Each structure stands twice: as structure tokens, then as C-alpha cells.
Amino acid sequence: MVRSLAGKTLFITGASRGIGLAVALKAAADGANIVVAAKTTEAHPELPGTIYTAAEQIVAAGGQALPLAVDIRDEHQLQAAVAKAVETFGGIDILINNASAIFLAGVQQTPVKRFDLMHQVNVRGSYLAASYCLPHLLKSHNPHILSFSPPLNLDPRWFKHHPGYTMSKYAMSLAVIGLAAEYGEQGVAVNALWPRTVIATAALAMLGGMVKPENCRTPEIMADAAWYLLTRDSSHASGRFFIDEEVLGEEGISDFSTYAVAADQPLCPDLFLD
């Protein structure tokens, strides 16, 4: 059977740029419908891309796009976006919890507003997106929820320098376990995907040069891994924490050199992985 996302409707948070946009474009190439649920409606000087430029790229790639201005911290905006997606495309087949906030600092160096932002976006936003999409996912033939969150590694070194961020991403992962337990038997695959190496996105600029782009991979490795997961039968696996390289390896892909930003440069491993 040919694997494809043709005709599927994907609700992707934070899809105006980075990994979210890469996943959208990969699905669009199959002819999928993409709901671009993100905040940016006007170009930011440091973070290029808006919901409208993303929609243009998605249509050019072969898909249909519905750009919606959504701050996922606002439950009313999320509810309205889900309703509009169903009205436009007739349902929702896949939720991608991609939107995320990051601030890598210790307890005393993390302002309250940054702590709150990470937990409101990473935890509350992804939890509510799942809650509002689930009534429609349960009607889908092959429903998936895929969150970009890490495996739960309790080594204290992952808490030492940025406990606020770690707590928020691990809470996303705990939600994956909970949702999979609650809805797995009803046919909804709920899984997480995390990159082996740091991914070069515009967000790197917000980290003050901690990681150089030439030591990263491109977002396409996550997009390809996500595509393989989302085109699997939803009964295949749920409650799993996948790593991009491992997913691609299961599909017979062993050469990851094409995903490197710069050839022959050492790659920076991502957080939370031994």
C-alpha cells in the first residue's frame, strides 16, 4: 500500500517556521490540508516567517492551507481555530504539538514571565490542543497526535542548568504517556519525537550563539521522521518516545549526511539524550 498523507488534515501549532513548517511542507507534497496555527502575522526582524508566508509555501508545495492566528496560551483562540479547521476541511486527522518556548537558565536567572511562558506554551498549550482536537481525531480513520518532546531522562544534569525548561518539556512528555493510556485503545496513536542533534532553526538566534548552525542538522530530518510515523497505522505504536535517527533507521535510511547544515562539521547532540 502506498503511504501518503493525501487528503489528511494536519493541525500544526507553531507552523509558521522551523520544524513545524518543514513538517507542513512534507505533508503538503502529498496533498495534505495544513492548519497553520501560530502567532506570527507580521514578519519579525529576528524570526522570519508568518502564518501567511507559510500558507503560500504550503500551497506551492501541493497542499491546502488554512492560516490561523492562534496564541495557544488562549483557550478561546484554540477552540475557535479547531472549529474553523473542521468547518474548512471537514475534520482533523493529525495534531502536531510543535509550538514551544525555550529559556535556558538557572532558577535565579529565569524571570517569572519566562517560566510562565514555557509552561503555558509547552505544557498547557499542547495539552489543550489535544483536548480540543480529540473529539475530531476520534472520528478519523488513522488519527495521530505527535508531540515534539523528549524521552524522560531523570539524570540530574538535565535539570542542573535549566530546570524550568526541562520541567516544561518533560511535562509535555508526561502528557504523551497520559493521552496514550487514555486514548490508545480507541485508536489514537499518541507519540513523541525528538531529534538526536540540535536542529538549525531561527530559534537558535534567540539562544545567544550557544550552538552554531554549522553544528546542526536541518529541520527536514524531523519532517521526514514525522512523515514516516504519521503514515504508519495508528495501532502500530502509542505512548512511545521516538528519536529521528531511529525512525529513519527503521525505514531503511542510514545515511543522514544530507541533513547536515555543513558537511564534515561535528554535530551538537540535543538535550536530554545520553
Residues with catalytic annotation?
165
Which residues, other chains included, contact 249 with Cβ-Cβ below 8 Å and sequence gap of 6+?
A: none
Which three-class secondary structure state does DSSP give residue 67? strand
Strands 33-38 and 241-243: unpaired
Stated as kind and residue range, the H or E segment containing 194 is strand 189-194
Per-residue cell: 152: 524522560
Which among 212, 210, 204, 270 is positioned nearest to 241, based on CA atoms? 270
Strands of the sheet with 33-38, listed across from one edge:
64-69, 33-38, 9-13, 94-97, 144-147, 189-194, 241-243
Q: Are 32 and 5 in contact (CB under 8 A)?
A: yes
Per-residue cell: 212: 552554531
